[in-house]
Amino acid sequence: MSKPSILVTRAVFPETIARLEQHFEVEHNQADARWDKAELCRRIAGKVGAFTTGGDRIDADVLAAAPQLRICANMAVGYNNFDVAAMTARRVLGTNTPDVLTETTADFGFALVMAIARRVTESEHYLRAGQWDRWSFDMFSGSDIHGATLGILGMGRIGQGIARRGAHGFGMNVIYHNRSRLSADKEAECKARYVSKEELLRDADHLVLVLPYSPESHHAIGEKELAQMKPTATLVNVARGGIVDDAALAKALRERRIAGAGLDVFEGEPKVHPDLLTVPNVVLTPHIASATVPTRRAMAELAADNLIGFLVHGKPVNPLNPEVLGA
């Protein structure tokens, strides 16, 4: 009997592909070519499963091109690239890779907090440009991390990881805002205090965004919110582009209405708003918060577990629309 066919849209670890090949005919984008929507539609036609990443938009058009499709397994915890309603209507299961990237992403969130607060990349550029010719009392003075108020917008797993690092590692005063309040136990573990969004914006010295992207969180940080922050505050986004209005942020940075920003995600990435590229008080990284070798391996393996679990054993590990599994 021939094996079911699946598509792997991006280059991933050869070991993961070898494992998938034990169960499936695998079409693998080994060259990591950039596929536009038409190419994705062409490649996904006839496949029963797809191993996707955050850059692959799975919408009604793609689904229409793949009538046999039963599962899209995202190698990411975020899944705003999936039109889940359209997938459910077509009885296509979506899965993601939660938990395995929590601590790595929280580490990186903290790396950006530190890099922007202590002006690490800005001062490095200065040194590399040969501009450092003497010590001066206020050269690249930043803001403190220890003892400062860490604000977290979106208090899921990654937000809690960042809170724990801030509270336990740096003695920060941690405040957060979230759709729902954490249990008392979790708040105690993170030493975090629930506040309104207004208080969060007003009081945070370092504000970290870790909320999922949805139409409700679109431009959760725009001109109005930036105006509520302290001029000495920093902003870090390790969640999704689109949560921040990048044009408004670039303007606020240029006008020094906030002190700095650390951004790993952008509206319309991999394109970056040109104004963000020209302001000095920003640290920009290309969506690498989960990029350590062990974590990327764990994400790839979990996406493969979901494909094998569902297509071979009828039991996915991380179903996003479990209603598809019934009947």
User: 269 an active-site residue?
Assistant: yes
Q: How far apart are CA 297 and CA 279, in angstroms?
A: 35
Indicate which residue of 206, 269, 273, 296 is catalytic. Answer: 269
Residue type, 107: D
Question: With helix as H, strand as E and coil as C, how does 263-322 read?
Answer: ECCCCCCCCCCHHHHHCCCEEECCCCCCCCHHHHHHHHHHHHHHHHHHHCCCCCCCECCH
Give me the residue whose beta carbon is nearest to ligand 8YV: 54
Ranges within 270-289 binding ligand 8YV (CB under 6 A): 287
Q: Does residue number 209 form part of the binding site for ligand 8YV (CB under 6 A)?
A: no
Give the residue among 210, 133, 128, 122 at the shortest CA–CA distance from 166: 210
Residues in CB range of 164: below 8 A, 6 or more apart:
106, 189, 190, 191
User: 193 an active-site residue?
Assistant: no
Tokens of 64: 């229409």
Nearer to ligand 8YV, 142 or 262 (CB): 262
Residue type, 169: G
Indicate which residue of 19, 240, 273, 296 is catalytic. Answer: 240
Nearer to ligand 8YV, 75 or 220 (CB): 75
Nearer to ligand 8YV, 108 or 170 (CB): 108
Q: How far apart are CA 282 and CA 175, in angstroms?
A: 23
Candidates 290, 306, 318, 321; binder of ligand 8YV (CB under 6 A) is 290
User: 297 an active-site residue?
Assistant: no
- CB of 93 vs ligand 8YV, minimal distance in Å: 17
Candidates 28, 63, 70, 78; binder of ligand 8YV (CB under 6 A) is 78
Catalytic residues: 240, 269, 287
Q: Which residues bind ligand 8YV (CB under 6 A)?
A: 53-54, 75-78, 101, 287, 290
